[in-house]
Amino acid sequence: MAQKESTFLNMTLTLFVVTFVAATVLGFVHDLTKADIALAKQKAQQKAIESVLPAFDTLGESYKMLPEDGADSLEFFPAYDASQQLVGVAVKTYTKSGFSGLISIMAGFSPDGIITGYEVLEHKETPGLGSKMNAWFKDQSKPGQNIIGKNPGTSKFEVKKDGGDVDAITASTITSRAFLEAVVRAYQTYQSAQEQPAISNNPTNEGGQS
Amino acid sequence: MNQLQNFTKGFIKENPVFVLLLGMCPTLGVTSSAINGLGMGLATTFVLVMANLVVSLIKNVIPSKVRIPSFIVIIAAFVTVVELTMQAYLPSLFESLGLFIPLIVVNCVVLGRAEAFASKNTIVSSIIDGLGMGLGFSFALTLLGAAREFLGSGKIFDTIIFPEDYGMLLFVLAPGAFIVLGYLIALINRLNKA
ipTM of the assembly?
A: 0.73
* Residue B5 CB neighbours (<10 A): 11
Answer whether residue B116 shows pLDDT above 80: yes
**A154-172 residue pLDDT tens:** 888 888 888 888 888 888 8
Answer whether residue A26 shows pLDDT above 90: yes
Question: What does the pLDDT read at residue A199?
Answer: 44
**A72-105 residue pLDDT tens:** 888 888 888 888 888 888 888 888 888 888 888 8
* A43 contacts B152? CB cut-off 8 A: no
Half-sphere exposure of B62 (CA within 13 A, CB side): 26
The conformation of residue A51, written as its DSSP 8-state character, comes to H
| Banded model confidence at residue A196, pLDDT cuts 50, 70, 90 | low
Answer whether residue A210 shows pLDDT above 60: no
Q: How far is B189 from chain A (nearest CA, A)?
A: 30
Instruction: Identify whether the C-beta of residue A175 lies closer than 8 Å to the C-beta of residue A129.
Output: yes
| Banded model confidence at residue B135, pLDDT cuts 50, 70, 90 | very high
Q: How many pairs of residues across A and B have Cβ atoms under 8 Å apart? A: 77
**A110-141 residue pLDDT tens:** 888 888 888 888 887 876 677 788 888 888 88
Q: CB contact, 8 Å: B2 with chain A?
A: no
| Banded model confidence at residue A152, pLDDT cuts 50, 70, 90 | confident
**B12-25 residue pLDDT tens:** 788 888 888 888 88
Measured CA to CA, the distance from residue B66 to residue A11 in angstroms comes to: 6
Question: What does the pLDDT read at residue B68?
Answer: 87
Q: CB contact, 8 Å: B69 with chain A?
A: yes
Answer whether residue A208 shows pLDDT above 60: no
CB-nearest partner of A33 from B32, B84, B172: B84
Question: What does the pLDDT read at residue B138?
Answer: 92
Q: CB contact, 8 Å: A112 with chain B?
A: no
pTM of the model: 0.73
Q: How far is B125 from chain A (nearest CA, A)?
A: 18
Instruction: Identify whether the C-beta of residue A125 lies closer than 8 Å to the C-beta of residue A175.
Output: yes
Contacts of A28 in chain B (CB under 8 A): none
Question: What does the pLDDT read at residue A128?
Answer: 67
SS3 category, A80? strand
Contacts of B153 in chain A (CB under 8 A): 128
Task: Work out the percent of chain A whose per-residue pLDDT is above 90.
Answer: 9
Question: What does the pLDDT read at residue A2?
Answer: 58
Question: What does the pLDDT read at residue A161?
Answer: 83
**B40-94 residue pLDDT tens:** 888 889 899 999 999 888 888 888 888 888 888 999 999 999 888 888 888 877 8
Find the mean pLDDT for residues B148-157.
82
Residue of chain A minimizing CA distance to B97? A124
Measured CA to CA, the distance from residue A161 to residue A131 in angstroms comes to: 20
